[in-house]
Structure 1
Amino acid sequence: MKFGIYLASIITIANMASGMYSILNSIQQRYTAAAWLILLSVFLDGIDGIVARATRTTSLLGVELDSFSDFVSFCIAPVVMMYFIVLKQLGVPGMAVGFVYIVFGALRLAKFNIISFDMKSPAPYFEGLPTTAAGGILASFVLIFELFERFEQGLTHKAIPVLMNRVPFIFEILPVVILILGFLMVSKLRYTAFSKLKASKRMSLRFFLLLIVAVLLIVAYPENIIFVIFVTYLISGIVNYFWRMYQMSRKGRRHV
């Protein structure tokens, strides 16, 4: 039991260390490395939760430590990276965009902690875009930009042309995207919490097969597929909202 507590905490601290190292790489203008380190933090954040649940060592201390790590890795690190890439050029407005993202990320984590303490049985969804996903999205943007530069120079074939054609537009609206991510983190939109889903054997098999396909695609087109996965998750919360509104309107018409 104690080993489980220590292991989960070590992974959480590794998550924080990866976020800190990402910040240092951004300061030194090694943005690709900074982005990969944020994605490493995404992976570690998922693993520490799995370890804590598997060993039944989830604790209030663990929740708080996890939030501090997430704040460093998915709030501070992505903004530092974005500041040197694009926000610095905008001056004070750029700093304001980064500040809004960080504040909303902190609010998202604080709200998550409160909900975690109050709920006896966790819901199968997150309220608001998780900071992990928001940070991962910004990291995937950096990777796709770096891939685009290599693609334009003919230095790589591991690129999807249709996606590459959209990259310049994404770069132009990046400050707006950062603001949108900030607002989504404190929104009421529901995002699937895969770790909290109670899956049947049939559903588990489908998820396992999808995971294998995703891994194979990531190996073939790493930057592209990581970007697509994060953006798909981002859009899923918006689609889910309109779907629920549609379902509610149908129920309302039935009762009229």
Structure 2
Amino acid sequence: MNDQLSTDRPDPLDELDGPAPSRPRRKGIYILPNLFTLAGLFGGFYAVVMAMNGRFDQAAIGVFCAMVLDSLDGRVARMTNTQSAFGEQMDSLADMVSFGAAPALIVYEWALRGLGKLGWLAAFVYCAGAALRLARFNTNIGVVDKRFFQGLPSPAAAALVTGLIWVMDDMGYKGVRDIPWLTWLAFALTLYAGLTMVTNVPFYSFKDVNFKRTVPFIVIVAIALGIAVITYHPPLVLFGVFIVYGISGYVVYAIKKSHGRPVSVIATSTDEPDEEGLHR
């Protein structure tokens, strides 16, 4: 009987060992939104290669194509419910290449090299501004009013810098380093774009535009006319649009200040002292 009890009683060592713990399931990577991100990254890399070969018009087109793809990857992820932490990090890294390093290198090769130290310092200010702007965006994403960007978004800053190159190249300005006024214009615009990215000036984000909502017929007509105007002369029209957008934030800031309205785009505050300076 004792033998029977001893066989029915569970072995304590077996209870300690227990069943082997199951391995956590590895998460896969969504293909569709990351394809858009990789395509945008290729646009930025292509732009650098073209600039190294003196094809500055193609370099500008590469950056603008990267902008279009960057605007699509997030929307595609939300529409297909394929958002992921990996996609967010991938998007930020691709943006740093396409809208941070690439425009800085392109404008340096195009005009700033002839200014010596001032030239590469201006390019570095732009590149650093893009990095700081992306880092602050990732940090403040939960507390910023989604209707506005805090500072000039990096794609728009890249459009200002490369848009000037595209327009001037289209107008036949070659050997820009030998044209002092154009060199200094590129210098000033590069600094403006780089510093505006790290300001607290509010720029409209267009994120509250609902594409699922019905609109009047005249809106479709206006969109068709806009496409026609852009295709008439893409370099000049696109550069003009982004010049207006690059100034619009300061106009909104001045209007809000003059009416005594709050100009900060931070929707809520944080109690973490290490992050206090990021939200002001």
- Given candidates 131, 135, 146, the residue that maps to 1:123 is 146
Q: What does residue 217 of structure 1 align with?
A: 229
Where structure 2 has 5 or more consecutive residues not aligned to the other structure, the ranges are 1-26, 174-179, 262-280
User: Distance in 2 between the 1:205 and 1:64 partners?
Assistant: 39
Deviation per residue, 1:89-147 (Å, 9 max, x gap): 0111111111111111000001111122x34x861111100001011111211111012
Q: Which residue of 1 aligns with 2:99?
A: 74
The code of the aligned residue for 2:188 comes to V
Q: CA deviation at 1:58?
A: 2.2
Deviation at 1:45, TM superposition (A): 0.5
SS where residue 149 of structure 2 aligns?
Answer: strand
1:240 aligns with 2:263: no
Higher helix share: 1
* Pairing 1:9-158 to 2, within 5 Å after superposition: 9-116=34-141, 118-119=142-143, 123-149=146-172
Q: 1:104 to 1:221 in 2, by over 3 A?
A: same
Which residue matches 1:178? 190
- When Rg is computed on C-alpha atoms for both structures, the one with the higher figure is 2
How many residue pairs get aligned? The number is 231
1:193 and 2:216 equivalent? no
Tell me the secondary structure at the aligned position of residue 207 of structure 2: helix
2: distance between equivalents of 1:43 and 1:20?
Answer: 15
Structure 1 length normalisation: TM-score? 0.82
* Unaligned ranges ≥5, structure 1: 151-167, 250-256
RMSD: 2.7
Q: Decide whether aligned partners of structure 1 residues 198 and 219 sit closer, same or farther in structure 2, where only a CA change above 3 A counts.
A: closer
Contact 2:202–2:253 (Cα < 8 Å) also in 1: yes
Contact 2:112 2:183 in 1 (8 A): no
Q: Which amino acid aligns with 1:124?
A: R
1:231 is matched with which residue: 239, 243, 248?
243
Q: TM-score, normalised by structure 2?
A: 0.75
- Residues 218 and 226 of structure 1 are in contact (CA less than 8 Å); yes or no, is this contact kept in structure 2? yes
